[in-house]
Amino acid sequence: MNIHRIISILLLAVFLSAFVPNGDDPLIPHETEEYQLQPIGDVIEISKYGRLYIDSAAYSDKTKQYLVVYGKDTNNDDVYGRFVDAATGELTGDEFEIAGTSASEGPADVVYDPYNDVFLVVYMSGGCGTGECRFLIKGRLVNEPILNGSSLAESPLNPNEFIVADQDYSDFTLSNPRVAYNSHDHQFLVVFERYRVGEFGAYSIYGRMLSSNKEQPVGLGLDYGFRVASFFPDEFVFNPDVSWASERGNFLVVFSGTDDIDPDLAEFSKIYAYWLYETYQDGADQVFSAYKIAPHGPLSKFCRRPSVAYDPTSDTYTVVYVYSKQKGDWKELTIYGQRVKSKFTLPDVPQIGDPFPIENDFDMYYPYVPPSIVYAGPGAAMHIAYTANKESEDYFPIYMRKLDGTNVGAATLVFGKKDGSRNSAGALASSTPGNSIVAWHHEPLAGNQKILAQRIGTFEMQKTFLPSIFMGK
């Protein structure tokens, strides 16, 4: 046999083997390596003293800065922030305290308001007394940094901390806020959990509209907001997230629903979606009901921890969530994505196709940290970040993938060391098309917990062409 023909056969075997699924790590349907996310520069140390969870991040297209918002355990649980230059990865000034009082603050969320060139940070604030915990939702504006050399010349904080949503009764508490910005009407929507103290698990999802303002956003409607969903006593609803559709003028609120807050006891858990017009702001009951979007298609009944982002190019939302095979089991998990219409009317259904897997067969270290998703600009589709343990109990790395419709990019290992340390991804923001930043909580075996970050870019992989020797020439 001609030596060139032998070489061509061997090369062909190697080429085709790349597409053969491994029995221990099955391929994701529609997985493609045509565009792969890759780290840019070195890992960034945001804070030397992090708290258990990392909260959120946002991007200013005016100064080209990311603002990373995170928890820091000083006297109590406090909320801190730090700016990062999107182009260089350099830290812009010092870390600064956003919320730190005698109360406990956090978790928090942040969004950028381009109309007033400010960031809005919302967070839960309160404390626990004799066996009872009561929290409300507060907010604070953060201005662009003014530097003196490499340090902040003045605090970027607006001095006015304000109440976003308060309890309507003393025995209710509010928690876990998420926020989105409506650039058409210059309004914010903050969504959060609301439950009655003493009836653990009696959760509802509420929202509060705020009008954008350079000095302090103004709450619309009732002080405690309006009800988005309440299924109690049949179901408890929690873990909300929200996104705004710029092409449709509405918000999509997603959240989990279950028959028991304790995952070891729950017989089902679902993902719901609620479409909310941007002008809705009064205190009346919801104008239409939430719609169950998962389980859907081939899935069974345990779907949790949703996150949502809007793609204006396709005018669709993408919801990502964690699916488990059985109750109370945070092993052998799958992250699924579900594309959802930006607007629909009954009896139509909002789902676009069946759910598609993004990551298969992994364990999760912090079950309450959902996968994060962000729109990464025209042609770049979505970026998703998550923590997944696929190898051992002592290895919890950070991964990212690119989503283009239902096409799932190859997994990119962002950070992970097989040294017993643990990592939990939570903050994700996008800047220029195809570029983003992911920030996470890093817990080493010994020493201080930290907040780390990594800039990410999209790179076009070189396409492989079969050489002419495959044709016997």
Residue ranges per structural domain of the chain: 32-49+363-473
Pick from 442, 457, 453: nearest CA to 82 = 453
Cβ-contact 206, 284 below 8 angstroms: no
What DSSP designation does 144 have?
P
193: its two tokens = 């959990």
Query: How far is residue 65 from each of residues 89, 234, 249, measured CA to CA in Å?
Result: 9, 45, 27
Nearest Cα to 314, choosing from 273, 353, 275, 371? 353
Q: Which residues pair with 454 in a beta bridge?
A: 438
Q: State the amino acid at position 443 in one-letter form.
A: E
pLDDT by residue, tens only, the chain of 473 residues: 556 555 554 444 444 343 333 333 334 545 555 668 999 999 999 998 766 566 799 999 999 999 999 988 766 678 999 999 999 999 998 899 898 776 778 889 999 999 999 999 999 888 766 556 678 999 999 998 877 767 777 788 888 889 999 876 667 789 899 999 999 889 999 999 988 766 554 688 999 999 998 888 988 888 888 888 888 778 888 899 999 998 888 899 999 988 887 777 888 889 999 988 755 555 444 445 678 888 877 777 788 889 999 999 999 999 999 888 776 666 678 899 999 998 877 778 889 999 999 988 777 655 557 899 999 988 778 999 998 887 656 678 899 999 998 999 889 999 987 777 888 887 999 998 899 999 998 888 888 888 999 999 987 654 443 343 333 33
Residue corresponding to tokens 């196709």: 353
* pLDDT value for 374: 95
Q: What is the per-residue pLDDT for 244?
A: 94
Supply the pTM of this predicted model: 0.87
State the Cα–Cα distance between residues 229 and 316, nearest whole angstrom.
22
Polymer length of the chain: 473
CA distance 99 to 138: 9
Burial of 364 (0-12, 13-18, 19+ CB in 10 A): buried
Closest by Cα among 265, 261, 371, 273 to 320: 371
Distance CA 9, CA 122 (A): 60
Compute how many other C-beta atoms are within 10 angstroms of the C-beta atom of residue 441.
26
CB–CB of 390/411 below 8 Å? no
* pLDDT at residue 435, rounded to an integer: 94
Residue 103 to residue 135: CA distance in whole angstroms: 9
- Produce one character per residue of 92-115: b if its CB has 16 or more CB atoms within 10 Å, e if not: bbebeebbbeebbbbbbbbbbbee
Q: Which pLDDT score, from 0 to 100, does residue 347 have?
A: 79
Distance CA 184, CA 203 (A): 31
**Which residues sit opposite 379 in a β-bridge?**
none
- Whose tokens are 């070189």? That residue is 462
Using CA atoms, how far residue 248 sits from 35, 344, 392, in Å, is: 29, 11, 45
